Structure 1
Amino acid sequence: MKPEYVGDGGVATVSYYAPDAPTRFTDSLHRTGFAVIRDHPVPRDLVETIHAEWLAFFEKEAKHAYAFDRETQDGYFSTAVSETAKGNDKRDLKEFFHIFPGGRYPAEVSDAARRYFAIAGDFAGELLSWVEANTPEDVRARFSMPLASMIRESPATLLRVLRYPPLTGKEEPGAVRAAAHEDINLLTVLPASNERGLQLLTRSGAWTDVPTDFGSLVVNVGDMLQEASGGYYSSTTHRVVNPSGEAARRSRIALPLFLQPRPEVKLSERHTAGSYMDERLRQLGVK
């Protein structure tokens, strides 16, 4: 069976149960920085519950009681303190809540997001094992330890519950929901959102939509895997564009799980995971 590709991006959509899923998944990450998994074990109804609960939470004033902490980086980030993508001068049009193992968690929602964190985290460890098993031996030799071991019991792995608010027409010119950027971590695991808008930059320099059928998982390479692999895996530039028409009046919810190694894990001769993260957070203006 040949991989299913989308447009110029060449992103493979792989069934979790296909016998060759690990090789096709890893090949797509190597070629494009992205892959999509369907028929996976992460419960769709759990994702739907989180979307509903947290959409209601972001509409409440109670969210401000959890204002983010610059040192721990957990809690609520309003649109006023949202990220500014590296090389950009306008803040993204989004608000979000950072959930870390042992970090703050709002009393106004159920434990659904915590349960998702645990389930998706276990599945992500399997995906990292797929990557390692299908990486060329000379590249694999660069890893200071097995990739799945890098995130085991990591206090830095992060679930971001993210809301892109409806557009009002009063946004600053040039501001977008998420400006072009690369992720910091090893891999990002993202349930396809309730709204379209995620795009990646292809090697030919064109923007193309990432397949986002609700119920599938979008996985992409982060800077830390690029660093650890000596560039064999590329951290692909991506963005979330502003919608038009009726979609502009709806919120967009996203649940990216950022797989981040323990701070002391060695990525390369020049960086540990902790030193790399500190450098990037300062560039983003949130530390």
Structure 2
Amino acid sequence: MSNIPSVDLRDFLSDDPARKQKFIDEIGAAYEDIGFVALKGHFLSDQLVKDLYEEIKNFFALPQDVKDKYEIPGIGGQRGYTSFGKETAKGFKKPDLKEFWHFGQYVEGDPKLEKEYPDNVIVEELPKFNEVGEETYKMLEKTGQYVLRALALHLGLEETYFDKYIKNGNSILRPIHYPPITEEPDNAVRAAAHGDINLITLLMGAQGKGLQVQNHQGDWVDAIAQPDELMINVGDMLSRHSNNRLKSTIHRVVNPPKEMWSTSRYSIPFFMHPISEMPLDCLENCIDATHPKLYEDITAGEFLHERLVELGLIKE
């Protein structure tokens, strides 16, 4: 099975200070080591998960010409549909074997950000698609907020340190469809080895083999969650902000054995991003004589732009 530690958010949310501290210690140690945890006790109900999978399977099963009308030019794939073979991992030449959808932030009380973020795209053919997507987005965002509160305490910060940066943040919910493989892939995989850009990623659909994480020895470890767990990993923004104390781990989605090529795989990551003004400068309390400052000062918006250019999703 998986070598990824499992933690329970209900420990952090409990009124028992010892249980809360246990969660902080466990998730902190996991993120300083392998950069991934499997998390129970999140805010997604079984019914919401079931409804979301049904809706995304319905969407990806639509005729290609119907899906194509939801691919919006000029926004770097930030909202709506991105068709098969469009995204290539940093440092790779072959595009990933996937198509995906993006739900973005539902801005509250900030007209400036409402103008800055593209609108969410409404799928006319599926009346429940957008409603279920929005509910999932909000429950994953709420889960992520508490994970970041635990990490703030682990890093010696005030518990709500991240709250102001993630409220109305540029987070993305990305349902992904890895279609059946119909011919021998030419060195292409479902998702090539990469690190995530953002603060943390909350992943639905990591049950069964496919997702692999690279440990410090360079070995690939299967990351398999239980049905009631989310896989949550540190992204490059948080790693940078913590002066690499919290590890953003390289991971990939490998192709299945040949006898399973005819099957689709679905996974649904929530990429938790802050507002673009958040400074990602290395935290003072993560810098000392044995851990000198590793990174130049940069904002989250500048860092995201840099990475989207590298991924080929936007032009400079």
**What is the TM-score of this pair, normalised by structure 1?**
0.89
Aligned-partner residue type, residue 131 of structure 1:
L
Q: What's the counterpart of residue 107 of structure 1?
A: 124
The one of 75, 78, 86 aligned to 2:80 = 75
Please state if 1:148 is matched with 2:166: no
Evaluate the alpha carbon distance shift between residue 99 and residue 16 of structure 1 in structure 2; reply closer, same or farther with a 3 A threshold: same
Please state if 1:224 is matched with 2:240: no
Q: What's the counterpart of residue 63 of structure 1?
A: 67
Evaluate the alpha carbon distance shift between residue 97 and residue 164 of structure 1 in structure 2; reply closer, same or farther with a 3 A threshold: same
Q: Name whichever of 55-64 and 117-126 sits farther off.
A: 55-64
Where 1:17 maps in the other structure, the secondary structure is: helix
Deviations 1:215-257 (A, max 9, x none): 2110000010011111111210000000014432111111111
Q: Is the 8 A contact 2:43 2:142 kept in 1?
A: no
Q: What's the counterpart of residue 146 of structure 2?
A: 126
The one of 196, 204, 223 aligned to 1:191 = 204
Q: CA deviation at 1:146?
A: 1.5
Q: What's the counterpart of residue 14 of structure 1?
A: 7
Aligned-partner residue type, residue 174 of structure 2:
R
Where do residues 142-181 of structure 1 align in structure 2 (5 Å cutoff)? 146-154=161-169, 156-171=170-185, 173-181=186-194
- Decide which structure has the larger Cα Rg and report it: 2
The one of 86, 91, 96 aligned to 1:92 = 96
| Alpha-carbon distance between aligned partners in 2 of 1:214 and 1:194, rounded to the nearest angstrom | 6
Q: Is the 8 A contact 1:191 1:215 kept in 2?
A: no
| Alpha-carbon distance between aligned partners in 2 of 1:68 and 1:84, rounded to the nearest angstrom | 18
| Alpha-carbon distance between aligned partners in 1 of 2:10 and 2:278, rounded to the nearest angstrom | 32
Matched residue count: 272
Where 2:58 maps in the other structure, the secondary structure is: helix
Aligned-partner residue type, residue 309 of structure 2:
R
Q: CA deviation at 1:46?
A: 1.1
Q: What's the counterpart of residue 284 of structure 1?
A: 311
Q: Is the 8 A contact 2:97 2:190 kept in 1?
A: yes
Aligned-partner residue type, residue 167 of structure 2:
R
Q: CA deviation at 1:195?
A: 4.4
The one of 28, 34, 45 aligned to 2:47 = 45
The one of 232, 256, 273 aligned to 2:300 = 273
| Alpha-carbon distance between aligned partners in 1 of 2:216 and 2:279, rounded to the nearest angstrom | 29
Q: Is the 8 A contact 1:195 1:252 kept in 2?
A: no
Q: Name whichever of 97-106 and 183-192 sits farther off.
A: 97-106
| Alpha-carbon distance between aligned partners in 1 of 2:61 and 2:249, rounded to the nearest angstrom | 32
Evaluate the alpha carbon distance shift between residue 35 and residue 54 of structure 1 in structure 2; reply closer, same or farther with a 3 A threshold: same
Aligned-partner residue type, residue 221 of structure 2:
T
CA RMSD of aligned residues (A): 2.0
Q: Is the 8 A contact 1:185 1:222 kept in 2?
A: yes
Deviations 1:84-126 (A, max 9, x none): 1111110000000111124223233311111010111111111
Q: Is the 8 A contact 1:35 1:218 kept in 2?
A: yes
| Alpha-carbon distance between aligned partners in 2 of 1:148 and 1:196, rounded to the nearest angstrom | 34
What fraction of aligned residue pairs are identical, expressed as a percent?
32
Q: CA deviation at 1:6?
A: 3.9
Q: CA deviation at 1:194?
A: 5.3
The answer for unaligned runs of 5 or more in structure 1 is none
Deviations 1:34-84 (A, max 9, x none): 011123332122112211221121121321111133336211111132x11
| Alpha-carbon distance between aligned partners in 1 of 2:260 and 2:55, rounded to the nearest angstrom | 20
**What is the TM-score of this pair, normalised by structure 2?**
0.81
